[in-house]
Structure 1
Amino acid sequence: MAKLLKRMGVADDPTALQPSLNDCIEAMLGHCDTLIIEMLVGLTHASTPGHPRHVRGFQQPGIKAGIDSLNRQGEAVREVFKAELTRLVYEGGGKETVATEALRFEDLKLFEDEQLDASIEVARAQQEVATAVDDVLPAVDALVSTLLGWRTIQPGLNPLRPEVFVRALQHTLSVHLPEVTVREALVAPAAGLLGVNLRKLYRELADWLTSTGVEPAVPLGGRASKGTGAPTQTVADSVAKTLLTLDKLRKLLAGDFDSPKPRQEFLHTVPASMALLQDLKGGSEALIKRLEQRQKPTPAPAAPVDMLAEPPAQPNAPSQRIGQQLGDEVVRLMFDNLAQDQRLLPGFKKQLKAIEPAVQKLAEEDSRFFSDRNHPARQLLDKVTQRSLAFSSETDEGWARFVVTVEKAFKWAAESKVADADTFGELLDTLHKNWSGDDQNLRAKREEAARALLHAEQRNLLAQKLASEFAASLEGLEVADFIADFLKNSWSQVVAEAELSCVDGQADPFGYRALVDDLIWSVQKSTAQRGRARRLVQMIPGLIAKLREGLDRIGYPPELTQRFFDHLITLHKDAVQEGADPEVHAAADSAWSEPSKFGDTKDEQDSLWLDKGEAEESGFVDQEQYFAPEHVASPEAPQEEKEAEGAAPLRVDELRVGSWVELNVGGRWIRAQLTWCSPHGTLFMFTAQVGTAHSMSRRTLDKLRAMGHIKVVADRNVIDEALDQVAQQALKNSLGDKKP
């Protein structure tokens, strides 16, 4: 393979050209033909009898014919691979394609056989390539992360990561090898050959970038992706020989292993017995007694038994045993994954361990636990696990009460002789009742703060529209910049608030919009002078009073408008005196030419403003105060804050309501949940378990992310993630079953 550096033309003077990310991409894409040619050569050798590198299984007619077909279409194969690789690289890696990292437990029941095979096909190919490039890839990730602008290594953002090449290869083979069995037999060997040559390219790419002076990014110190603290691998490596495969897992979700006897249905939202909703603080014994005394169905009378008859056949028994074993394994792996999750506190993990046998017992009889996210047992685990994320330490306020309520509920479930859906539903209702007092108070605070923020967003959106109208009315007129900016910032908020608060439909209830024309006329340089001074004397007192009244009505900070009034009074005084006083006239000229202090209104986020009451009620983070020098992390900042700067990026649009984050407020890290975002996505509110709210604009949220002052702890349910890892393990186990 020709050297990459020589092809780039910088081998003689490595430092003469500092490469860009685009240079790297173009260099790698330039070697697509070489990658495919050498892959085809390797496959041909493997299918040639007597060749030192021949593979016995490749002598089969179908596989050999498939390799011959690829060779005959060599040029077309290269073109398809390059086109697909180019698309994937420039579109971010083809995230829409089914891939191992996107495999979700809940999606398996929807998979067709072809989709299941495609997932296994991609996983095997990725495994082959990953093994080949494992020693050189970290250096490439570090250097490419630097070209992307990151100080820490971000493997998932590398547009040239191995998965992209594998997906391009899979697409190419699917185009030119329509026979599924042939493609499945060849995809892993082809990926292995691709990986060997990709390793050479990676090594040369790393050498080239290093020689040109590109500094590698630094590791994250073992942080999990997205800053979640979740384990990046499943903990089930000890189950190499296992029942757990994707196909069997899909059958379990579909209920194929279920017993043919009918099962009693449960209601998702209505408790089985309202009388059982007792407070566990003092009523756990009564709850136990009532559950155990629940009326059981009367057994049917026994039929007479013929002792000479042959025993009935039980064709479903083996399948049922397999389903039971498989269900046991899924539950065990799920709890093992939860035990390894760093986000869950040790005290809570102890409670999970206590309830595991009860869940195991339930799952043996009711496979809906796996397939139905609304199953009461799943809901119980979901609710308590998500609630536990509110605490980052066992010393946090409210932790002791939370863990006691969970302990009592879980202890009863572990000791109970009854373990069915209704039991778990009743336990969940009891926990909700115990938590309801605190939850109602927190909900009331959140709703009140959300209403204030919603009103603020509506006012700001209307103010932006008014600002555009005011700007249009100023076109062609000689008006000082500070006047224009006052109208587009402060006064647009006043007029917007007045219109929103009007309930009788008046267009301008307080005359604030009509005042705009008078203000503009009073400060124009080109205004006719005859009679102007006399009119100004009559209108200025009322004009100033009306301006102050409007600003006071919305509680606009006086410090933001004091300079405006100082300059306005100077202009009015000079106009009344018709420039007779040299000192006043000079001051007026100075005010006219002074740059505006109200900021640039070109960006909608700059004009976002909350009044004092709205800000206090919602814990609004004012970016001007927050991003002052004393709030910005210094070189002497704590090590955990420095590590936070390397948290994997997450666009604001991907942050969902319900996500838990670590938020740096006033130099102290707190655990909070995104509980509300405005309809137009301009305002976000995070709430801590103790009830304190922290709201901010989109711009502030973006800045916090960039500074490492906000880290995502969990943006999905922890139970769902644990089951997804089970699906990942099933996929790994399926690879062995699919080997040719």
Structure 2
Amino acid sequence: MTAPHALQLHLEPVLAGLPDFARRVVAATLESLRSSSMALAVAQDRQQVFAAMEALNRHGARWVESFASHLDQAVREAMDDRAAARGRSIGRLRVDELTLVDERQAEEDIETSRTVMQIEELAEWELREVQAYMAALRGETTIRREANPLRPEVYARALSHSSRVLPLDTAPRMLLLRTAGSEMGRLLREAYASLCRGLEQKGVEPLSFRAVPTPASPAPARDPFGQVLGKLRAAAPAGAPAVPGGLEARLAELNRRIAPDSLPVPLDAPHVTVPNVLQQLQAPAAGAAPTSPDPELVSLLSKLFDQILADPRLLPPVRSVLGRLQVSVLRVALQDPTLLTEQQHPTWLLLDRIASHCAGYADVKDERLSGFLAFVEQLVGRVAAQDKPDATLYRRALQEVNDYIDAKAREAIERSRAAVEKLQRIERAEQLRSVLRQQMRQWQGPPISQSLRDFLFGPWVDVLVEAMSRYGEDGQETSELLHTVDELLWSLQPMRNAEDRARLRALLPLMTERLQRGLDLIGMPTEQRAAVLAELRAMHTKHMREPAPEDLTPEQLVQRLREEEDSGPLWFDSGEDVDRSVLPTVPIGLMSHPETEAGRLAREAWQSRLVPGTWYLMFVQGRWVTAQLTWVSDNKQFFLFSSQQVGHSHSMTRRALERLLREGLVTVLEDRSLLQRAADSMLQDLDGPR
């Protein structure tokens, strides 16, 4: 029996039991909510619990059906995860594909991650055993978390997605997910144990766990690559570089062994051994005199390339490309002493740039990766062919790589132009609403009706955004429509004297014409605009006829104050968080103290790394994905990412990014560069037991 058939056969009972599992989770959740509601002393918490309970009582059957359906689909997809990964492709972004991760989605992702952690804590040993059985059923030789189609995140995502059928606001739905996640973890522990017993009775042998020794890690060096450069510098020949006789011929011979015609290495090659030719340079060729320029220098460079060519984060073709530069780097070291003193030498920067740009690619069929490698292979071939390479050569090569990456980034943004423009419009709208809120806070007139408030913050903001898109932010038409807001707010307050009333009469025709012109831009339906204009006309008529405040009798003044008091405050809290600053990715510990100086400095440091091209590891839509930042809005309110695992590009609001950050759900993919990693490993080998 083949592995896929064995997996399918043994998991069919699990799939058949998913509806019952869903019913048990929902029933346990409802019981837990009933028990907790009696112990809650805070009214707001009780209201959220009661809202969740009411939704379950009325729509529990719908949730069970949706949960079971999502679970069945998710488990079946996870059973064929490798085929799905191979078949996934990155297409052009369409506007309707753009996923906006806002604060609500971030909160949902946070709850999903907490559910995963709860399950892992409650069912740690049972989950390990299930993973061993799943690896055996797949016919694999190692135990992989992703090979388990019943892994916690599969259940957690299904739970989160299915809960959307319940008519709940964000707060009670998050409470519901938190409660349901805990109950599901307990039930999954029982289900995992039962599955393992069943597989054991059927004679399935679980794959054994292999003990992976943890290397002794000395205290991390502050600057490991700097220490490696120091060792190289100490090993370099003193005075003017001297090239021993016969060395150039030997270098040319070694270079031919890794010639360009051996590239490219197939992207899906499982194991590719790239020869470290510098090791061969340490021993003389048969019957020839020693030709090594300095044994220790060559030995250290050879050890550095050993670590680079063994770096598990590099895809096989990337190792091949970088390995092609071994002889060239040695030639630079012999002719350019600055290579051994400057970490920012163009040679090191080129190696790091190539590696970091490829770091986030996991789909070997991604056209962006294959295109970049094809370009780099040609470039590296030209560099390696130079018999006297220097900093200038590598600086030009680095510039070519950067130019290529920038050009591809511009092409990607152009393909996503509609999505970027959509995000820009959203950002402009938020900026305009912020300005309007500030104006409204300073408003000294009587309360504005909710309908007019909705008009200002809705359709009229859309008018201004459309004007900015058509005529530019500084265009005359845009300026006139922006000024209309000031005129409108002024016209809604009582006129203090005859001069004000006369000014209002003169202003109304022009203001009405501008309002009509603006609403034409967004095509507002006739009935809706007629209702708004009628309300404005009624208020303007009232203000022009009633006496000014100084003409009112004491009784009229008292009545006016009572009316204003009864109508409620002018401005109300919309429930939005205070916009303190742009809060990019920072260490979680510092985010716990956002008002401290250390927290501020950390946020600024991380903000500087939020630049297009950087790869991130983040928890999005219920799963960990590797995503590349491709675009940042002018005010850093929106970030556009491209991720292979999710399958299409998605954007994230600043606040959503902040929320994920606080929970440790987003981090820079490469905390250390290629050379830093290689230096760390090299120093451990050099300083370890001999």
Q: What is the TM-score when the length of structure 1 is the normalising length?
A: 0.39
TM-score (structure 2 length as normaliser): 0.41
The structure with the larger Rg is 1
